[in-house]
Amino acid sequence: MKATALRGDLLDFTAAPVWGSTALHGVRWRPDHWLLVGADGRIAGALPGDQPPGEDWQRVDHSGHLLLPGFIDTHVHCPQLDVIASYGANLLDWLETYTFPAERRYADPAVAAAGAALFLDALLAHGTTAAVVFPTVHKVSAEALFDAARQRGMRIVTGKVLMDRHAPDGLRDDVAGAEADCEDLIARWHGRGRSSFAVTVRFAATSTEAQLAMAGRLLQRHPGLFMQTHVAENTAEVQWIAALFPQARSYLDVYHRHGLLNERAVLAHGIWLDAADRRLLADTGAQIAFCPSSNLFLGSGLFDWQAAVDAGHRVSLASDVGGGTSLSMTRTLAEAYKVQMLRGTRLSAWTALHTATRGAAEALGLAHEIGHFEPGALADVVAWRWARGPVAAHRDAVACGAVPGLPPQDLHARVFAWLTQADDRNVAASYTAGVLRHAG
Ligand code: GUN
Ligand code: ZN
């Protein structure tokens, strides 16, 4: 590619903002700047808008748009676009009624390939350039995702789902077959381009002890692998796990006993945890992917982010589509704000945006590559319209002090109003490694 300069209002983070504060700590705001992207697809620096780079730079004018690092969705299910927005069931019913039947289709390579393409194009159209993804139990579904992500230059973390019990015919594997499939996928995809393999335990209920032990062996055998699963999402689920694993201290402890918790472990939900669980997360470096729209939609509960902050464990943000109701990370952040309001805490726009960009990159150990505009990072960049439609445009004008009789508001107020209203219709352009992949 040619070296490219993108003009717009640059917003990224140099450090974590202070929890609960709207102060600008860690916020890097460079209105009307050129973001320089070298021919290698990496960030090369930034220049003020009135000092454009030389003629050898291809210039792309996104003036008046917000340029953010691409969002990182740390927990989302590719095959569940088929069941997004399915009516009236909590977790275990929802899995049986809607999700498992839909996932069976992904045994067919043509379905898996078409599903992966639809899904990754949709992520890009929503401003998400990196994701930690669940495919299905079928090896071909992971293969399809890795290949479709490679074609789009996207950062992906995924792996064949492990489930050898409590799942219908057509959705169960066995320990030896699953291990062989994982080894083959690791050999061919882990560390290739922008792909990493994740040992993907669906949840403790759908794996036997023998399969959980195999998952632990894979992690030991291949340092650098990720691990993804679900934990403590729903009270009925928590009771079921307690009955299945009577020797474990808690649901989280089931994973710990099998060596599955480390600094590259991503556990979705974590609503029904206790203090010892949170300490274990902090000690192992594992992160909880907070999935607010899913938690509301499936009636699962209200994630206690303050307790996570107090315990010092990592938190990222995720759509969890199809339990979640939108691939949009701005909608996800807006739902996170509402959940925290119901818990009596306030989520600032800074903490929300940091968590979905640099914070997620750091929690995943990928901050050398994504999440910010430091020179050397790959240029995963999204240009956002500040407003879509007359109501949002008026609200943005108020924030900017352009409505007579109302004083201008600070940057946090403007960004918060944007975040609360924005969705995929606000996305003007998405780039991965400096290459335009979506224009909206
Ligand atoms: N727990 C086990 N599988 C799933 C899933 O597909 N979605 C959600 N939200 N929770 C799960
Ligand atoms: Zn999930």
Give distance in angstroms: CA of 281 to centre of ligand 1.
20
Cα gap 318→267, rounded to integer Å: 11
Among the bound ligands, name the one nearest to the CA of residue 323. 1
Proximal ligand: closest to the CA of 231: 1
Q: Residues, the chain, total?
A: 440
Is any ligand 1 atom within 6 A of the Cβ of residue 294?
yes
292 Cβ closer than 6 Å to some ligand 1 atom? no
Atom of ligand 1 nearest to the CA of 320: 9
DSSP string, 357-418: IIIHHHHTT-TTTSSS--TTSB--EEEEES--SHHHHHHHHHHTT-STTS----HHHHHHHH
DSSP symbol at 321 = B
> Does the CB atom of residue 77 touch ligand 1 within 6 A?
yes
The three-state secondary structure class of 76 is: strand
- CB 9 near ligand 1, within 6 Å: no
What pLDDT is recorded for position 388? 98
300 CB less than 6 Å from ligand 1? no
Distances, alpha carbon 180 to alpha carbons 6, 183, 198, 215, 340, in Å:
45, 5, 15, 12, 43
Atom of ligand 1 nearest to the CA of 322: 7
**What are the structure tokens assigned to 366, written together?**
């990928």
Instruction: Tell me the C-alpha distance between 10 and 30, whole Å.
Output: 5
CA distances (Å), origin 369, targets 187, 238, 407, 433: 22, 36, 40, 10
- Minimum-distance ligand 1 atom for the alpha carbon of 134: 6
- Residue 288 near residue 251 (C-beta atoms within 8 A): no
Pocket test for ligand 1, best of 81, 95, 272, 320 (most atoms within 8 A of CB): 95
Per-domain boundaries in the chain? 4-70+373-439, 71-327
- Ligand 1 geometric centre to CA of 332 (Å): 17
The reported pLDDT for the residue numbered 192 is: 98
Six token digits for residue 237: 């689920």
pLDDT along the chain (440 residues), means of 10: 96 97 97 98 98 96 98 99 95 96 98 98 99 98 98 98 98 98 98 98 98 98 98 98 98 98 98 98 98 98 98 98 98 98 98 98 98 98 98 98 97 98 98 98
Looking at the CA of 241, which ligand is closest? Answer: 1
Domain 71-327 = CATH 3.20.20.140: yes
Residues with CB under 5 A from ligand 2 (ion): 268, 320
CA angle 323, 184, 141 (to 5 degrees): 30
Between CA 420 and CA 203 the distance in angstroms is: 32
Rounded to the nearest 10°, the torsion over CA 304, 308, 309, 315 is -100
**227 and 263 Cβ atoms separated by less than 8 Å:** no
Beta bridge partners, 68, equal 382
For 90, 149, 371, the CA distances from 192, given in Å and listed in that order, are: 38, 11, 20
Q: For ligand 1, atom 3, which residue shows the shortest CA distance?
A: 202
- Pocket probe for ligand 1: among 202, 207, 228, 251, the residue whose CB has the most ligand atoms within 8 Å is 202
What atom in ligand 1 is closest to the CA of residue 324?
A: 9
Q: Does ligand 1 have an atom closer than 6 angstroms to the CB of 202?
A: yes
- Ligand 2 center–CA 152 separation, angstroms: 23
- The letter for the amino acid at 86 is S
Three-class secondary structure of residue 221 per DSSP: helix
Pairing of strands 155-158, 128-134: parallel
Q: Can you give the three-state secondary structure of 250-319, one letter per residue?
A: CHHHHHHHCCCCCCCEEEEECCCCCHHHHHHHHHHCCEEEECHHHHHHCCCCCCCHHHHHHHCCEEEECC
Give the pLDDT of residue 414: 98
Pocket test for ligand 1, best of 99, 133, 206 (most atoms within 8 A of CB): 99
CB of 230 within 6 A of ligand 1: the answer is yes
Task: Please work out whether the CB of residue 320 comes within 6 Å of at least one atom of ligand 1.
Answer: yes
Under CATH, domain 4-70+373-439 is a member of which superfamily? Urease, subunit C, domain 1 (2.30.40.10)
Contacts of 193 (CB under 8 A, 6+ apart): 150
CA of 91 to the centre of ligand 2 (A): 10
Nearest to 298 by CA among 273, 332, 329, 325: 325
